[in-house]
Amino acid sequence: MIGYFFNARNMMDASWGKFTQLLDFKAENAGCQIVKVDPRNTSKMCFQCGHIQDMPLYKRTYECADCGFVIDRDYNSAINILTKLAGQELSCVEKSVNTLLEQTGSMK
C-alpha cells in the first residue's frame, strides 16, 4: 500500500506517466508506434452484438442479455479493445481483427 492516502493517487498517476513515457521511448527506438485506445465500456459491451450492460467488478463472466453470448469478461474486453484498435488508422500494422485473433489462440 502506498504511504499516505492523499498522495496515493498522485504517486500512482506519476508512475503510470513514467511508464507510458518509457514505453513511447522504447517504441520509437524500435521503429514502432504506440496507439492509444479508449478502454471505456470494453468489458461491458458484447463483442458479438454490441449490447452494453452493467457489470459489477466481482462478475467475471460476461453473459449478454441481448444475444445470450457467454465469454470471460477479460477476454471480451481484450477483443473489444482489439476491435477498436483495428477501427483506427494504423501505419505500423495492417492486419484484420480476425487474423490477430487467430494468432493469439485460446486463453485456456
Residues in CB range of 74: below 8 A, 6 or more apart = 43, 60
| Confidence check: pLDDT of 35 > 80 | yes
Q: Are residues 22 and 58 in the same domain?
A: no
| Domain span holding position 18 | 1-34
| Confidence check: pLDDT of 91 > 50 | no
Residue 64 CA to residue 47 CA, distance in Å, equals 9
Tell me the H-state helices in 1-108: 5-30, 73-87, 97-104
Q: Are residues 43 and 29 in the same domain?
A: no
What percent of the chain lies above the pLDDT cut of 90?
Answer: 42
As a whole number, the mean pLDDT across the chain is 80
Q: Are residues 26 and 55 in the same domain?
A: no
